[in-house]
Chains A and B, each alone.
Chain A
Amino acid sequence: MLLAWASSLALVLPLALVVGEAIHDSLGHGFSAENLRVGFDSTWYTNFAAKTRGLAASFSPTIIGIGAILNGLDATIRGELLQMHPALVCAGLAYLALWVLLSAGLVPRYTATRSNATFASDVVRFFPRFALLTVIALGLYGALLLGLLSGLEHEIENITRETIDERIHFAWILAGHALVWALLWCISIVFDYAKILSVVADPCSPRRALLGAVRLVFGRPMATFGLSATLGLLGLVVLLVYAVVTPGASPSSWLTVVLAFVLGQVFLLARIAVRCLFWSSQTALAETLRSHTR
């Protein structure tokens, strides 16, 4: 968990330095520095946004508070993560790959038998299967988000061409996204269990693991989907708590700025912890369900 968090920090820090330098240069000795210390300065921001290019142009006031999560959430739901700034997309893909790597070492540790091998050797052993399964899953995600979702949106526009009630249009679009994300959820659960089975049922080829996962997930849907939904709700609670406690633009001293940053990192760790909880809980459930079927 700490390794994931440290990796996230390491990937983003160089990018943050670029953005920070642009902000610093823009502020100079001006009053905007004082305004930004105690709150925000919209005039400075319109000036900055008009002049800035590159990665620093991704800075906007909506990153504050819960906005830090909403921007990413919105892009994810709409299948537009790859449309972010290239530097952020590269960092995101690198982080995704890192998680594949990490999960290959984590899952063996969550099994009932608890692997005696080192973390690194488990990674070497299971990463190729995890990577293959991830690539297949990404292909399916891409087909859903870039293909089906796009097609659905186009079809919904045709269906609602003459709609003049915003609520109806919203309902259609929401339904379209719900359908795509329901399918995505199914794929995600299946591939999670496939990765788990490739560890707990080792030796197990990715093909066998996938077939086994489909049988397991859809053979016991209440358990598998229920667990995922429960953990998902937990993740949502974490985000809601963050939305309530996170300071907005008010931190104005070094102490409060550092505290706000630390608080933010704590919640980031909480998100990572929830993901680890997914792996550990699903691993435990997979082993339990397998033992019941034997």
Chain B
Amino acid sequence: MRSGPSPWSRLLWLSLAVVLGVLPGRTRASEPSPAALSPRIANYTIQARLDHDRHVVIGNGTLRWRNDTEHATSELQFHLYYNAWQNDRSSFLRSPRGERLEPSEIREQDWGWIQLERLTWRESVGTTDLLSSAEYVAEDGNVDDRTVLRVPLRRSVAPGETIDIEMQWESKVPRTFARTGVRGDYYFVAQWFPKIGVLEPDGRWNCHQFTQTEFYADFGVYDVALTVPSGWIVGATGRVIETHEHDDGTTTHRFVQPDVHDFAWTTSPHYAVHDDRFEHAGLPPVDLRLLLMPDHAHARERYFAATKATLEHYGTWWGPYPYGHLTIVDPAYRSDADGMEYPTLFTGGTSWLSPLASRSPESVTVHEAGHQFWYGIVANNEFEHAWLDEGINSYAQIRTLEVVFPYRRFVKRYFHGFLPMVFDDFLPPARTDGADVYFGFHSLLKRDAMARPSWQNGPNAYEINAYNKPAMMLRTLENYLGWQTFQRVMSHYFARWSFRHPVDEDFFIAVREVSGQDMSWFFDQVYRDTVLYDYAVERVSSKPVRPPHGFTEHDGKLAFQSATQGDGDDIEQYQSKIIVRRWGDGMFPVDVAVTFSDGSTKTERWDGNDNWIAFEYRQPTKVERVEVDPDHKLVLDVDRPNNGWMRAAPTDIATSKWTSSWMLAAQHLLEFFALFS
């Protein structure tokens, strides 16, 4: 399906483009070094030690940061993510996401925090303390939230200038609130260090509080030495370049990774390590390392297969994975660290008993491996445009699963979720199957426009606008433009914005430039508004054509004709009329497929703008079937069942079949009540 240049040549041209600065877009003050894939703005050298008894990570290190804009800055801003779980006053625990938790049930040892002990600016003229003048800032006005630290500087940092900030801190690893935490002797440690925000090209700091969204940071080089108890397996962003055992029963593992924007790690003595290698013609090879928990040993080959499928299809469709290695983490049971992405490392997730039909871990593995491309390489701001990675990746994930792991069935888990049962007769819905699950006046699709910054989405709007709706939007767009065109759009967008921070308009521009079509009419509805689409067959009639009844003119004179008169040799004709209705406020061109009783068909095209349209036919056959949007291009239609009409719909037998099944199930339920008699 791939068209255009090969991934290798794309990678070569991309690298050259970065070096020569020929890529259009926002202006940067300086150019990256020739060997770099990314601008390398925020570079960390960290030494961290895990104190397992206290669940604390003691860290110190240096941030080498470059002002890559054309504006001087007199302050720095840092994320202190772990303070979101310091107490129940944080904006995180007050947000819709945090409201699902019950703070009163959280024990003392479960809370988390990050405490900066030293923050200094090391210059040639000396070292300046920055901590004494630092203050917490909260754009939502919550003075109790401590997830953003504003650090005034004694002098401005000029455009292009590089500074060294030395840091020392302690991070109390929480019992997992959101993907990072400790359970028993299993750690997944993410967002654990003071992370500098992003200084945008216009000179503003982009450093939002941590509430319901994910993350945003600049690319850089990470050189991190992790000291953990000896014998514990460590997985992290990057490759391990050296290991050193100490006499105190600890071991230091040093990981280095250039051209990434985050660093996460995991450690536990329970991991089993498995290695494999991805190789595919036309794509760079990738060393795969799987850290597998003992109760998920069955999933070893499934994890590898899903990861390889992602590297192959994403690499072929969008662009190659450039890092050469990837760590797959099978998270521990109930660690709540499952299904999350970090540069060159991701967490999957599965169950002890997981039938193939459930596609667990395949589905989550494809999604999280896919994030290496959409998030890791094309690094959108997840605070503001979460859909640019989650939505695009959800769309791409479903596409990949359809090709590589098409077998899926509905799986229900019984007995506290431990025991799965596969129901062979039906499929579970996929994210891009259709919008029917959101039907209703108070549909989730109407909660907030996708254009609203993700961190500002209201209750129950974030997930729909980040994942499901954009995935359906993109699937609809693919159906409209055709796969070949859409694949070129996506691969062009990927190549242009690799190792950069795109915004929503950048995607729309790519669509316009590559497809040659102005799709603003579509994005205005789906992205900037909250319209619902619903096309339906309202009414179908096929009536025999009879001679007129009443007075008609013959030879200049009026004569009465009854309906029963007429030439007995006339061929019977039917006057058929179909009303197709637009119930929703969204407008989209649709086809209408009409099938007649002799098997002949007609396909009508409607621009979908009016409230309704009528199609009329006069022919010897009746209309037997009508289907609006027969190819299901408009997956955003919220009521797919009303798109079809058939004359001889077997409604009674279908109703009887399923009602009798329900009845039988209810009778069996009564038998269980009778057990107690």
Contacts and interface: CB of A to CB of B under 8 A. Distances in A.
Interface of A: 8-9, 11-13, 15-17, 19-20, 23-24, 26-34, 36-37, 39-47, 49-51, 58-59, 61-78, 81, 84, 88, 91-93, 95-97, 99-100, 103, 134, 137-138, 141, 162-167, 169-170, 173, 188, 248-254, 257, 260-261, 264-265, 268, 271-272, 275
A197 to B, nearest CB: 17
Contacts of A19: 659, 662
Given A42-B427, A50-B440, A12 B657 contact: no
Given A164-B184, A164-B186, A250-B425, 14 more contacts: A13-B663, A30-B642, A32-B654, A33-B646, A40-B425, A51-B440, A61-B410, A81-B672, A92-B673, A162-B183, A165-B295, A248-B423, A257-B660, A264-B661
B438 A257 contact: no
20 contacts: A30-B644, A33-B655, A36-B657, A46-B434, A47-B436, A47-B640, A62-B423, A65-B423, A69-B668, A70-B412, A71-B669, A81-B672, A81-B673, A96-B676, A99-B674, A248-B423, A249-B425, A254-B656, A268-B668, A271-B668
Contact of A96 (B184, B627, B641, B673): B673
Interface of B: 183-186, 268, 270, 293-295, 332-335, 351-352, 410, 412, 414-416, 418, 421, 423-429, 433-434, 436-440, 540, 625, 627, 639-647, 649-677
Contact of A43 (B183, B335, B434, B646): B434
Given A63-B665, A78-B416, A73 B672 contact: yes
A166 B423 contact: no
Contacts of B268: 164
A47 B646 CA distance: 19
B651 A27 contact: yes
Q: Which 4 A-B pairs have the closest CB atoms?
A: A92-B673, A20-B659, A31-B644, A162-B184
Given A88-B666, A272-B671, A30 B660 contact: no
A96 B418 CA distance: 30
B659 A91 contact: no
Contacts of B438: 50
Contacts of A97: 677
A281 to B, nearest CB: 16
Contacts of B663: 12-13, 15-16
Most buried by B among A26, A70, A72, A99: A72
Given A28-B651, A99-B677, A164 B666 contact: no
Nearest to B270: A164
Contacts of A59: 658, 662
B641 A8 contact: no
Nearest to A265: B664
Contacts of A78: 415-416
B662 A29 contact: no
Contact of B677 (A100, A163, A257): A100
Q: Which of B437, B642, B653 has the most CB of A within 10 A?
A: B653
Contact of A173 (B416, B440, B658, B666): B416
Given A61-B426, A164-B186, A46 B437 contact: yes
A28 B644 CA distance: 10
Contact of A37 (B294, B418, B653): B653
B423 A43 contact: no
Contacts of A8: 667, 670-671
Nearest to A84: B669
B670 A92 contact: yes
B605 to A, nearest CB: 21
B423 A67 contact: yes
A84 B670 CA distance: 11
Given A36-B657, A76-B675, A29 B649 contact: yes
